[in-house]
Structure 1
Amino acid sequence: MKISRRDLARGLAATGAAAAASSLTYAQPPVGEKKSHAAWTQVFPGVWRARIGEPERITPVTVRAVPPLESAFAHLPAVAMPPISAIEAQQTERGCLLQLPLQPEEEIYGLGLQLLSFAQRGKKKTVRVNADPRGDTGDTHAPVPFFVTTNGIGIFVDTARYATFYFGDVRHKPSQPEASTARASLDPNYTQSDTATEQAAITIEVPRAKGVDVYLFAGPTTLDAVRRYNIFSGGGVVPPEWGLGFWYRADAHSTTKSALALAQEFRDRNIPCDVLGLEPGWQTHAYSCTFVWEPSRFSDPKAFVDAATQLDYKVNLWEHAFTHPASPVFAPLEPHAGDYGVWGGLVPDLVGAPARTVFGDYHGNALIDLGISGFKLDECDNSDYTGGWSFPEHSRFPSGVDGEQMHNLFGLGYQRAIWDQFLKRRQPTYNLVRSSGALAAPYPFVLYSDLYQHRDFIRALVNSGFSGLLWCPEVRDASSEEDLIRRLQSVIFSPLAMVNGWYIQSPPWKQLDRKKNNAGELLPDWEALEARCREIIGWRMSLVPYLKAAFARYAEDGTPPFRALALEDAGDNSLRDVDDEYWMGDRIIVAPLFAGEAERKIVLPEGKWHDFWTGEIVSSREFTVPHTREHIPVYIASGSVMPWAAVGPHTGAPERNKLIVRVYGDGAKSFEWHAGINHLMLKWSDGSGLIEQSGSAYSKSDYSVTEWKHFE
């Protein structure tokens, strides 16, 4: 891994200067309020903890599903000392107040799935669960009290409270008078001090807490700090191969007949698809949920699932956790629910093991054993702006948490209840969820949203890599054919490639207008648009071997498979604000196009790059591409060897084991995938290629290379 001189210098400067910075002091606290400096205690290689006061009993760490992946720390550089000497802490009537140094030019990223901003220095953010943020306040589907800085420092505050982070925008009052001012206050040339260049502090308030544990993850690089956090979380998830294929969610009013007809249509028209999703209409009652099949639509659920399986589909079911009184699980779940309901249903205490067991066992016995391969866990976040449908913060739950804590932990507990059932059956799964949080890297769940701005979706994808999260920029509505194509191109290069057609009877390439689609009025030339979409979906199938390698590395050393350019090289100032491009794996950069924009600017890291599609060498690090470009802009590092699989109807099709291997430049960067004893290596040397493979994964059908395609 390359470490720039700038990044190294900053890391060394942080180690020395941080001690001085940590001596920043508060004004004298009020009587009865106590302040202190909390020292670090090493808990894992390159990871330290500071304990302030008496932490709460239930926190992300105490209810975690997966322990740290201790062996993986050996993959990272050794760090002997914490780069910050201590934390200044203060107990107040409001809760717990913390302060850390912030160096000049040190930028900050993270705090979970932030859709509305990227770089966080100079901002105030509250990590609060909310499905419908109305401003850049920190509200998000997946708040994570973890951030990293460009000095190679990661900080995790182990709390389920709505903690507030002030990133350099809080300063103590002046203590000395001055004889005069340098400029008149109304001088038009007057500018305030620049928070990016001055010595500042990070201030964190954890409300209603008598103490808190704070973890420090030392780089030396920013990427290393994120890796340590992901390893501390338990290591990254490795999805089943079918999860990396293409997904389609059918109309909410689907029946056995219509859903299977759609599945057959995809096979007949050579549209690749692995997962068929059903929306709320599969249940007898959906808001709240019964988790029981609606007999007028699905009279024989097992026959339906078996028929879908015969067509080589996995079936995914929509639901939320709020449990209707008519549900079979209502009575055994009622003693393990909160004191408030949602949509006339129970709110199960999924932080506690009893509720997870009751709720999960029902799903396992009634649905997973039927053949269901995964779930879409909806509305497990919160909403203050769309009717206030969720439970209040003053709710109480049998596990001892209140509503505030439950909001920050509910999505994680929900995931765990479902995931436990697949683990018991030793069955791989890949799912969707609308809320997650801290330490979620091992969870086989991908976030999504009912919000729909394309740029915000890409920013969320870029930000997700800072916090151990995965994000799906799903395709739903499209304002034009261009919008559909650009959104579909983006989702193909993401952790989960899905079109969500819950509101239309026919796929969007047949008719974009919702009313006309549902009335059966199709576009006169829909087959041409379908052909373009079929080609793009085919790209996803070709990318699966490469994606498998990226996720395998995520599990091995914590490297996010999708991540910001700034995370890879935090010392490059030209990359610090790039929130619309991202790394996919270890050699590809994706730069989506957005409908209605005449052109877009591309910024690439230092090094030699090729256009992925044409193989042409890129002559500049910064340039623009026009909106007329047909393919999504994708760039690959020179020297890369890249597998490109054959397209088949689904990921398990035998023809997909045939590879075209693309070689860019001298081919010095071999491609390697390994998981356990399974191994695949693609090499290029002296103008010829070599494939090596071994392990049980290849006992029935090995990969074979049909062509080595070399780009000079």
Structure 2
Amino acid sequence: MQRTTVVGVADYAYTSDSVTLDCCIDDEFTATDWKYRENANEGAGGRTVPVTLEFYNPSTFRFEFRANPEVGATETLNDLNEAAIRDDIELDVTETNGELRVETSALRVVIGLEEWSFAVTEPDGTILFEEQREDIDVHGDLRVEPLGFSEVVDDAGPDKVATTGTALDLAPDEGVYGLGEKFVEFNKRGREITSWTVEPYGTETENSYKNVPFHLSTRGYGLLVDTTNKVEYDLGKTTTASATINVHDDTFAFVFFCDPSFKEILQEYTVMSGRVDMPPKWSFGVWMSRLGYESREHLEEITAELRDREIPCDVVHLDPFWMRDFRSCDLEWDTNQFPDPEGMIEKLREEGFHLSLWEHPYVPVGSTAFEEGREGGYFVTDGTGSPYVMDNLCQGDYRGAIVDFTHPDAVEWWKDKHRRLVEMGVDVFKTDYGEGIPADAAFANGLTGKPMHNFYPFLYNEAVYEAIADVNGRDEALVWGRSAWIGNQRFPMYWGGDAQTSFSGMASALRGGLSLSLSGFPFWSHDIGGFRGTPSEEVYVRWSQFGLLSSHARCHGTTPREPWAFGEEAVRIFKKFARLRYRLLSYLYSYAAAARETGLPVVRPLVLEYQNDPSVSDVDLQYLLGEELLVAPVFDESGRVDIYLPDGDDWADYWTGERYDGGQTLRREVPLDQMPLFVRAESVLPLHESSQTVEEGTPDEVTLRVTPAARGDTQTSFDFYDEDCDEFVDVGCSILEGEIDISIDSGERTQIFQVKIVDVERVPDAVRTNGANCEHVDGAPGEGKWSYDAEAETVHVNPR
């Protein structure tokens, strides 16, 4: 492949919010002859190529380089809302000593004119982002390829652009995070990563179902590569001094977000790419599934057992067997195996269960649905106008065609099939697959599978999500998707695919999820126990503990995943953690409501909350559930686990109350029925009674568990989501010089709360609620009263 590189700038122009550069190129560029020439284009036919910078606000801009400018600007398929992040801006553009400086109040872009260079700095000159042109070997040759394009020759014919891209300088201590659901190390530095959606047949490689070409750097920026084509990253693997990004397209574009805080970047990125809708509350309950329940009788045996054993559960799922043999996916019931589906669904509802159905976007040859789709032109074609029929496409390894979601009539046809099922009472669809789009396929919008391959999961999940919303409303809409791309977070939610039934599979599920959390997805789940085969009792139990403290919780696999399949001890432990999950539902739901407004994830890697603690940069086997709870799953049959408690906060063991300083590693050997769980000191944790199913509405009684600071005064609060009022209630606690002040900014809603303050070493001098003194009593406090348990060192307050 031949590489052509930008070497200088022939001319430029600018407006109040953009800069256009007319760039010189040289197809014989090397480090040893890197110098500006008056006519740098002699070897490239004298042509120039454009680079544009468009600023959306003082800290965010879009960079675009076009190798074939004659064809016009490339229209991105990504549905990005630039208007949502635009703000007034006036660029300060100056030229000095062969450099162009483009400055805002938040950053400075420095561009070499005579000798091309590109850097983004803070206003004081501290480098945030810099193109790499100094990573050379002993011969003076560049190890990486800076801004430019590569061409290939087809059949000894003319050259054509194959890729565009650039190289970036990597700081010695720079960490790189995100890039979608990647099952490898959480910190991607040192890895090669490809953003190309595939069926990875496991979760042990960097191949994944959910690719998002967006990453965060510890240098203080986020970068979204704005394309739907394949993106290839080398993040310090070939050379530790450099990273490269190459796009399989003739346009290389990215959006640059500048901020030292990962949280701030994620919030702006999700404003642009789309904020999540609030999932229905019942979705936060336990889901029970396997591949699969093959009949109505089988399903009802499972639901009866769940209720008999008092195992909390809200959703049951049917995999492909709900449809007839060789008819996956025509979305028609097999009424022999599932007679009277309407009656079955009604019975499930009466027992407190919601129903999920499996699907994929492929329609089997020989079905009535295939004939309808062929006649209507609803399928992706092979370029001749015929449906692109493939072997082993559909579940069951038979032939099928692919629904074309760029064809408006095809979308409506597919939605109609779903709307009928939703009207029957189906609540959610497991939108499986979506990764198998051939690069040479032809779509109704005139594009091939090359740019559509990665984008297809967005259109697929959008169609199904909207079909549910059409019937049930957006508040009740939900998919359980496997494949995803930029913006798919708008249609919650997604699970991690086919993990191995092993501790390695469990670890990869967590790594993939944490990576997705830093890619704009607030909710994710995984198959408790792993997918293929039968996990050991230890793997199942440990995975249950982790899974039941994820944003969403589903048991699933090719063999039974109901806890009684693993013995009575497994049932006992499963119930213990399921009940804990249901006690925490108001906590989880508060963070879900916050995600709707902030885009921040419910399950958080430690680096998101403790970015200034260098010890958390590579921690990917523990996580934060919200901000208040630290979870450390056990990944070893022996029960051994190392737990790092982040610096900057103190921590209390959730189970025992024992206190620990932050910034240390604990080494534990944990019995099978336990999992390390810690509460951040100086925090408020809302809890309520467990139940067999998720109860709609704000609970009648919520206990606010306050963990004071280990030393000194306490000032803490929590934004509690009051579902009935659809608003946040600021609940706070101040402990100052032996006096406790509780604030509950909820007007007449104060009566739903009780307060439990732990680790209070002596009787308080006074307790007040919203400024009013509470009366001290012995025993259980009545309304407006408080008591002190000296043995437990706990204050109980009834602020009603």
Q: TM-score range by the shorter chain?
A: 0.7 to 0.9
CA separation in 2, counterparts of 1:657 and 1:474?
33
Unaligned stretches of 5+ residues in structure 1: 1-24, 172-194, 382-389, 513-525
TM-score when scaled to structure 2? 0.72
**Paired residue secondary structure (1:623):** strand
The match for 2:77 is: 62
- Asked if the contact 2:194–2:233 (Cα under 8 Å) also holds between the matched residues in 1, the reply is yes
What is the CA deviation profile of residues 17-63 of structure 1, one whole-angstrom value per residue up to 9, with x for unaligned ones?
A: xxxxxxxx965797369786835321256321112216999999535
**Aligned pair partner of 1:622 in 645, 648, 665:** 665
Label 1:36 to 1:573 Cα distance change in 2 as closer, same or farther (>3 A): farther
The match for 1:185 is: none
**Paired residue secondary structure (1:296):** coil
The match for 1:17 is: none
What aligned pairs does 1:169-208 form with structure 2 within 5 A after superposition? 169=237, 195=240, 200-207=241-248
Distance apart, 1:263 and its partner CA = 1.9
CA separation in 2, counterparts of 1:73 and 1:113?
31
The match for 1:144 is: 212
CA separation in 1, counterparts of 2:688 and 2:54?
48
Task: Tell me whether 86-95 or 495-504 shows the greater mean CA deviation.
Answer: 86-95
Distance apart, 1:544 and its partner CA = 1.2
The match for 1:108 is: 176
- Asked if the contact 1:35–1:91 (Cα under 8 Å) also holds between the matched residues in 2, the reply is no
The match for 1:475 is: 528
Distance apart, 1:692 and its partner CA = 4.8
**Aligned pair partner of 1:613 in 655, 661, 681:** 655
Rg larger for = 2
Question: Partner amino acid for 1:559?
Answer: L
CA separation in 2, counterparts of 1:96 and 1:536?
50
Task: Tell me whether 289-298 or 528-537 shows the greater mean CA deviation.
Answer: 528-537
What is the CA deviation profile of residues 515-556 of structure 1, one whole-angstrom value per residue up to 9, with x for unaligned ones?
A: xxxxxxxxxxx4443222111111111111111121222221
Label 1:377 to 1:532 Cα distance change in 2 as closer, same or farther (>3 A): same
Report the structure, 1 or 2, having the larger strand content. 2
Distance apart, 1:628 and its partner CA = 2.5
- Asked if the contact 2:605–2:622 (Cα under 8 Å) also holds between the matched residues in 1, the reply is yes
Task: Tell me whether 368-377 or 664-673 shows the greater mean CA deviation.
Answer: 664-673
Distance apart, 1:293 and its partner CA = 0.3
CA separation in 2, counterparts of 1:137 and 1:397?
30
- Asked if the contact 2:296–2:344 (Cα under 8 Å) also holds between the matched residues in 1, the reply is yes
The match for 1:368 is: 422
Label 1:73 to 1:345 Cα distance change in 2 as closer, same or farther (>3 A): farther
Distance apart, 1:499 and its partner CA = 0.9
Label 1:302 to 1:372 Cα distance change in 2 as closer, same or farther (>3 A): same
- Asked if the contact 2:479–2:491 (Cα under 8 Å) also holds between the matched residues in 1, the reply is no
| 1:632 is aligned to 2:675 | yes
CA separation in 2, counterparts of 1:59 and 1:267?
56
Count matched residues. Answer: 627
CA separation in 2, counterparts of 1:489 and 1:137?
24
The match for 2:412 is: 357
If asked which structure has higher relative contact order (CA below 8 Å, sep 6+), I would say 1
The match for 1:445 is: 493
**Paired residue secondary structure (1:446):** coil
- Asked if the contact 1:673–1:681 (Cα under 8 Å) also holds between the matched residues in 2, the reply is yes
Label 1:497 to 1:257 Cα distance change in 2 as closer, same or farther (>3 A): same
- Asked if the contact 1:660–1:706 (Cα under 8 Å) also holds between the matched residues in 2, the reply is yes
The match for 1:242 is: 282
The match for 1:330 is: 370
Question: Partner amino acid for 1:313?
Answer: F
**Aligned pair partner of 1:601 in 633, 642, 667:** 642
Distance apart, 1:112 and its partner CA = 0.8
Distance apart, 1:215 and its partner CA = 0.5
CA separation in 1, counterparts of 2:496 and 2:626?
21
The match for 1:455 is: 507
What is the CA deviation profile of residues 132-183 of structure 1, one whole-angstrom value per residue up to 9, with x for unaligned ones?
A: 2689874211111111100121111111222111223456xxxxxxxxxxxx
- Asked if the contact 1:34–1:90 (Cα under 8 Å) also holds between the matched residues in 2, the reply is no
The match for 1:673 is: 720
**Aligned pair partner of 2:732 in 683, 690, 693:** 683
CA separation in 1, counterparts of 2:576 and 2:83?
39
The match for 2:551 is: 495
Question: Partner amino acid for 2:537?
Answer: E
| 1:424 is aligned to 2:470 | yes
| 1:550 is aligned to 2:597 | no
**Aligned pair partner of 1:90 in 137, 143, 148:** 148
What aligned pairs does 1:383-422 form with structure 2 within 5 A after superposition? 390-422=436-468
Question: Partner amino acid for 1:413?
Answer: L
Question: Partner amino acid for 1:40?
Answer: L
**Paired residue secondary structure (1:494):** coil
Label 1:593 to 1:481 Cα distance change in 2 as closer, same or farther (>3 A): same
Label 1:97 to 1:706 Cα distance change in 2 as closer, same or farther (>3 A): closer
Unaligned stretches of 5+ residues in structure 2: 1-28, 35-40, 89-103, 110-118, 121-129, 132-145, 152-161, 383-387, 761-800
CA separation in 1, counterparts of 2:525 and 2:178?
18
Distance apart, 1:654 and its partner CA = 8.0
CA separation in 2, counterparts of 1:580 and 1:58?
44
Label 1:398 to 1:431 Cα distance change in 2 as closer, same or farther (>3 A): same
- Asked if the contact 2:276–2:492 (Cα under 8 Å) also holds between the matched residues in 1, the reply is no
CA separation in 1, counterparts of 2:83 and 2:350?
38
TM-score when scaled to structure 1? 0.81
**Aligned pair partner of 2:694 in 643, 648, 651:** 651
Root mean square deviation of aligned Cα? 3.2
Question: Partner amino acid for 2:499?
Answer: L
CA separation in 1, counterparts of 2:301 and 2:206?
43
CA separation in 1, counterparts of 2:450 and 2:46?
25
**Paired residue secondary structure (2:588):** helix
CA separation in 1, counterparts of 2:351 and 2:305?
11
CA separation in 1, counterparts of 2:326 and 2:751?
44
- Asked if the contact 2:148–2:166 (Cα under 8 Å) also holds between the matched residues in 1, the reply is yes
Question: Partner amino acid for 1:596?
Answer: E
Distance apart, 1:416 and its partner CA = 0.5
Label 1:324 to 1:654 Cα distance change in 2 as closer, same or farther (>3 A): same
Label 1:169 to 1:264 Cα distance change in 2 as closer, same or farther (>3 A): closer
Question: Partner amino acid for 2:525?
Answer: C
- Asked if the contact 2:708–2:757 (Cα under 8 Å) also holds between the matched residues in 1, the reply is no
**Paired residue secondary structure (2:364):** coil
The match for 2:684 is: 641
Label 1:646 to 1:410 Cα distance change in 2 as closer, same or farther (>3 A): same
Distance apart, 1:640 and its partner CA = 0.7
